[in-house]
Chains A and B, each alone.
Chain A
Amino acid sequence: MRLPSFRERKGVFILMWKYIIKRLLWMIPVLLGISIVIFTIMYFCPGDPAASILGNSATPAAIAEKRAEMGLDQPYMVRLLSYLNQVFLHFDLGDSYFQNQSVMSGILYRLPYTATIAFICILLQIVIGTPLGITAAVHQNGLADRICMVIALAGVSIPGFWLAMMLVLFFAVKLGWLPPYGVGGLQYFILPCVANAFAGIASQARQTRSSMLEVIRSDYIVTARAKGLSEREILYKHALPNALIPIITVVGNGMGMMLGGTVVIESVFSIPGIGMYTTSAINNRDYPIVMGGVLFLGALFSLIMLLVDVIYAYVDPRIKAQYEGQQKSWRRRKKANG
């Protein structure tokens, strides 16, 4: 087989970058849409931040004065345009109503906690979920398959909140091995990550099993067996790479789920991440934090999905070939046009 020339590789590289830039530009309307939706939800959401700041004994007159000072008495369109102007033209998520701090610095302070949880969870999802799925597929309808699928079923059925409390009662209260809440060393992340990752592990196992079963039945796997390749070689060299696309999709979606799931897990384990930051802001009707938090997570998720698409190109020869094909036709067109 002829290896691609440097010129061809460069062409594919340029096309990839074009694609990435195009996707990044597409993120602008996506984020604009998210901003408008979340702003509209918060606008129509009952509850008044001014009343929250002033407390229960505040009179309606005092609340009205505070609302005017905060600009909350402005019409919907005025406030929306002002917010979009602030976010998209000045790259400013605004300041919290309660904390003497910009929303961006609040998010960046909390990001490491959320990112740590999400990263460990996704790692657990891949490291545990994928082998579980492979084992289940290889031993389809056998004992191993049934055990793996029972675990997977439990994972998708058990609510993360309930599992978190059970883990706390067993490992923190009964055995005293792990801290029940808070932040500190790595040990503080074990229970939250296990609780948050369980559903992801289950989805990963189910998706891997399903993809592997589809691939295992393919003709080229039969051919590989007929060639006398070992089962291990067939599995890891021929079957798994071809089953990777749906698996990677689940990992990408899982990352989004993990980021979203931290909202609950961080509250249960009192971890001061973006999830807890946003939830407590919802209770206080601290609109800038809620909108900023959602927008930030939206942007992060869009980037992750872009990364997933780029990874597709590297793991799937068909997609790589598609880029190479585009490069060739582009060169042909260029040649034809002189």
Chain B
Amino acid sequence: MKKKLVALMMVGCMVGTLAGGSMSVCAAGSGKTDTVTVGILSDPENMGPWSGMSQGRIAMLFSVYEYMITREDGQVYGVLAKNWEQVDAQTYKVELYDYIHDAAGNPLTASDIVFSFESAIATKNYGKLSVVESVTAIDDYNVEFKFNKALEIGEFENVMLECAIVTQAAYEASKDQMATTPVGTSAYLVESYVPGSELILKDTGNYWQTDESLVHGTSLHNAEEIKFSVITEASQHTVALQTNAVDISNGVPDTDVAKFNEGGEYSEGNAVSIILDNLSFDIEYNMSDNSVFKDDKNLRLAMAYAIDKEGLNIGAFNGNGAAIKDFGNSSYPDYNPEWDNEEYFDYNVDTAKEYLAQSGYDGSALTLMYTNTGAQELLAQMLQAYWGQIGVNVELLGYDQMMAQQEQYNPEAFDVLLKTTGSTDYIVNQWKLCWDARDYQEVTGGTANFVQDDELQKLMEACLNVETYGPETIDAVHDYLVETCYGYGVVQGTINIVHSEKISDVALDSRKQILPGACVYAE
């Protein structure tokens, strides 16, 4: 296969920018502050570069570590990687900047990249790295990545974004494998850490990338000092913002957010940034052999037409979210805007009742399983009401995230599943999280929701394949999912960031976590 620049391929794929939920990219050097305090809901626990993911850890990750590349507004930029190219179907070559050093001053070379990837792979904590066959240093600043299969769309970038990079020297100098004293290549070093309470990062003033035009969002350092304050109780986030103990938080309960809006009880000195989430709330029918939905498309359609998606948006997100027209949402660069004008199970009680009459539904109670977080709880109750009005009796079954994650592969556990899915890159990779049977075959015998459909699998593989990925194959999957109604998206949620007016522009990373170093400050 001819060599081709991956960057060029990406440009071809990414034509749009992310809507609403996009990262606010700040110009380096503008709007700085001495100190910013971020309220987070969980302790980072272990700040080592390759430990297991947790809610607290994800909040500080991009402030301490850098990755080979970054993704902003649907575009991919190099961070440590200066250039990269595809050598053949399973081999990529990456060139590094030759002047990188970590926050402790250790120079970073290709051997450190090899060390970082090999260490991360050895932990088995990163499923996306399972495609890596080998990582080899060609010379001091060039690394070769060999993969164990031809990569699919977005897969190379995901590998590059999965592994935090550190120097071997710094890692080996750490007494606790960087669990409490992480040293990455970002501008920040840990000043102090009180487990379970507070983490303070300080700008070293010695960031390696001196060309400001090459500093992207995740690497910006607009705050001299970043303080992460662990506040485990959500209502205490409201108190912390009221008392100016923190400057920014995404942990304020939904019921309190309105109080910080203009004219609200706590609006003085505070503001709310409502950002569209990259996650979509989807409905998946249980399509296993014993399920009532398996051979009853009319029942599937009846329940789909009974849902007022705009009603869900208003009820759960005060209308700030978006009713969606696909299994994914419109924030992806490969979302086809024409879908917005198409019929997508648009709310129609009469149509729903007609389909129900033609179905074999016998009035028995169906179980709707969901994760019992605030928004999903509300959505589940509304769905129960919508389905109730056409005569479908639904019982609610709410689980905590861990339990729901496990029970979703149990065909006896539910009839309908309300789930959030989302990807940080393309809509096809969001679809993959449910519809690619290759990932779920061993457990479900088909897709994540037990669908066994060769045609769907063929279409999925076509849209994921780099060679055939494009509008035609993407449309084909979308149309097929609409036609079969195995599952569908209902609403795109929001992320509510409450912050003091000291912050004029909020920046989020691709996982929708606050990037305090990249926010723009008014002072």
Binding site for B on A (CB under 8 A): 46-48, 51-62, 64-66, 69, 96-101, 106, 109-110, 165, 168-169, 172-173, 176, 179-183, 267-273, 276-277, 279-280, 283-285
Q: How far is the CA of A165 from the CA of B126 in the complex (A)?
A: 39
28 A-B pairs (CB sep. < 8 Å): A46-B407, A48-B405, A51-B402, A51-B406, A52-B54, A53-B125, A54-B125, A54-B126, A56-B405, A59-B439, A60-B443, A62-B130, A65-B124, A69-B124, A97-B52, A98-B51, A99-B179, A100-B48, A101-B176, A110-B196, A180-B236, A181-B233, A181-B236, A267-B233, A269-B236, A271-B196, A272-B196, A277-B196
CA distance A286 to B244 in the complex (A): 33
Q: Closest B-chain residue to A58, C-beta based?
A: B127
- CB-CB under 8 A from A179, the residues of chain B are 245
Considering the chains assembled together, what is the distance between the CA atoms of A284 and B45 in angstroms?
Answer: 11
Given contacts A54-B127, A100-B176, A173-B243, 7 further A-B contacts (CB under 8 A): A46-B402, A62-B127, A69-B124, A99-B45, A270-B233, A273-B196, A283-B400
Bound form: Cα–Cα A273–B127 in Å: 33
Q: Give B173-220 interface residues, CB cut-off 8 Å to A.
A: 176-177, 179, 194-198
Q: Given the complex, which residues of B lie within 8 Å of A110, measured CB to CB? A: 195-196
- Cα distance, A59 to B129, chains bound together (Å): 12
In the complex, what residues of B have CB within 8 A of residue A47's CB? Answer: 400, 402-403, 405-406
Question: In the complex, A283 Cα to B124 Cα: how many Å?
Answer: 21
Residues of B within 8 A of A53 (CB): 52-53, 125
Contact with A along B90-128 (1 / 0, CB 8 A): 000000000000000000000000000000000011110
Closest partner residue, chain B, to A182 (CB atom) = B197
For B230, the chain A residues whose CB sits under 8 A away are 270, 272
Most buried by A among B48, B239, B242, B423: B239
Chain A CB within 8 A of B17 CB: no
Q: Given A58-B127, A268-B233, does the pair A168, B439 have CB atoms closer than 8 Å? A: no
Which A residues touch B54, using CB under 8 A? Answer: 52, 98, 284
Task: Give the CA-CA distance A96 to B62 in the complex, in Å.
Answer: 23
Report the Cα distance A47→B42, complex, angstroms.
19
B433 part of interface (Cβ distance < 8 Å) = yes
Contact present for A183 and B43 (CB under 8 Å) = no
B134 at the interface (CB under 8 A from A): no
Also in contact, A280 and B46, with CB within 8 A (given A47-B406, A97-B52): no
Inside 8 A of B231's CB, which chain A residues have their CB?
181-182, 270
Q: Are A60 and B439 in contact (CB under 8 A)?
A: yes
With a cutoff of 8 Å between Cβ atoms, the chain A residues found around residue B194 in the complex are 183, 272
Q: Which residues of B contact A96 (CB under 8 A)?
A: 45-46
A24 to B242, alpha carbons, bound, how many Å? Answer: 50
Any A CB within 8 A of the CB of B22:
no
Residues 16-55 of B contacting A (Cβ, < 8 Å): 42-43, 45-46, 48, 51-54
Q: Taking the complex as formed, is B318 at the interface, i.e. its CB lies under 8 A from any CB of chain A?
A: no
What residues make up the interface of B, taking CB atoms closer than 8 Å to A? 42-43, 45-46, 48, 51-54, 124-127, 130, 176-177, 179, 194-198, 229-233, 235-236, 239-240, 242-243, 245, 399-400, 402-403, 405-407, 409, 423, 433, 439-440, 442-444
Contacts of B239 in A (CB 8 A): 168-169, 172-173, 180-181
Check B236 against A268 for contact (C-beta < 8 Å).
yes
Give the 7 A-B CB pairs with smallest separation, nearest first: A272-B196, A47-B402, A53-B52, A62-B127, A100-B179, A60-B443, A59-B439
Interface pair B236/A270, CB less than 8 Å apart: yes
A47 to B371, CA, bound (A): 12
Contact B198 A182 (CB under 8 A): yes
Give A96 to B48 CA distance when docked, in angstroms: 14
Residues of A within 8 A of B48 (CB): 100
What is the bound-complex CA distance between A169 and B240, given in angstroms? Answer: 11
By beta carbon, the residue of chain A nearest B48 is A100
Q: Which residues from chain B contact A60 at a C-beta distance below 8 Å?
A: 409, 439-440, 442-444
Chain A residues within an 8 Å CB radius of B127: 54, 57-59, 62
Give complex CA distance A116, B51 in Å. 31
CB-based nearest B residue for A55 = B53
Residues of B with C-beta under 8 A to A54: 52-53, 125-127
Contact: B43 with A283, CB < 8 Å?
no
What is the bound-complex CA distance between A179 and B403, given in angstroms? 36
B18: min CB distance to chain A, Å = 18
A66 touches B125 (CB 8 A): yes
**What residues of B have a CB within 8 angstroms of the CB of A269 in the complex?**
233, 236
